[in-house]
Structure 1
Amino acid sequence: MPKGGWREWNDPALERGVTRSGAPAAGGGGSTTPKAQQTVRVQPTRAGKGGKTVTVIRGLELTDSERRALLKRLKGRIGSGGTLREDALELQGDRVDQAIALLEEEGFRPKRAGG
């Protein structure tokens, strides 16, 4: 198929999350690094939160749906609120130890960062 035109954007392979070469499309593929080898950092912070402490989890190489599912499990098990940011999960409160324990149960190898 020639490049350009409306066909390039309406390619059924792109809707399935696969490029023409067979590789996963950006944002549609899964993690390439096994959970146990990912560098996951868990850190308490107050930056930009009006003095409130939040627990920030960075370094997860997951798809958006996997991130949402993990955040939902963490919030339910810890019993606090949380949100999904661009590159991190945020949990309300200083829940670093609980988050590390739950991430280890999920198969990750998290490390405490910062204070």
Structure 2
Amino acid sequence: MAKQKRKQFDGIVYSTDNNYNYPEEESFALETLPPGKQQLRIQLDKKQRAGKAVTLITGFVGKDEDLATLGRLLKQRCGVGGATKDGEIIIQGDFRKKIGEILSAEGYKVKLIGA
């Protein structure tokens, strides 16, 4: 979700102009929204995890570095392990209420799903 790419040549197949330069690829960096405009969803997930429960935080809009920073903060405050990948934060164990309180204190809009 971090970058969106344009098609390489935008439909140009061949040019007879010797001085023609193909347009450079532009990478559109996704800007991180401020915490007040983020709507994060917190849910308990057990699917494809051998029955072990994890807290799943989705809905983050922004750069992967900012997502990793937020994930690191949540892991430290909860004192457990986890991961950030594919725009999601995974925290080991059921910490929905605690994570909801932490994110609310940081200024994020939080929605508990299935609680």
In structure 1, runs of 5+ residues without a counterpart are 10-18, 20-24
TM-aligned CA deviation for residue 39 of structure 1: 2.0
Corresponding residue for residue 31 of structure 2? 30
Corresponding residue for residue 66 of structure 1? 66
- The Cα RMSD (Å) is 2.0
Corresponding residue for residue 97 of structure 1? 97
TM-aligned CA deviation for residue 4 of structure 1: 1.7
Higher Cα Rg, which structure: 2
Say how many residue pairs are matched: 97
What is the rounded CA distance, in whole Å, between the counterparts of 1:91 and 1:58 in structure 2?
Answer: 12
After TM superposition, what 4+ stretches of structure 1 lie above 4 angstroms from structure 2? Answer: none
Identity %: 28
TM-score normalised over the length of structure 1: 0.74
What is the rounded CA distance, in whole Å, between the counterparts of 1:35 and 1:77 in structure 2?
Answer: 18
What is the rounded CA distance, in whole Å, between the counterparts of 2:57 and 2:20 in structure 1?
Answer: 43
Cα distance change, pair 70–4 in 1 and its aligned pair in 2 (3 A): same
More helix as a share of residues: 1
TM-score normalised over the length of structure 2: 0.74
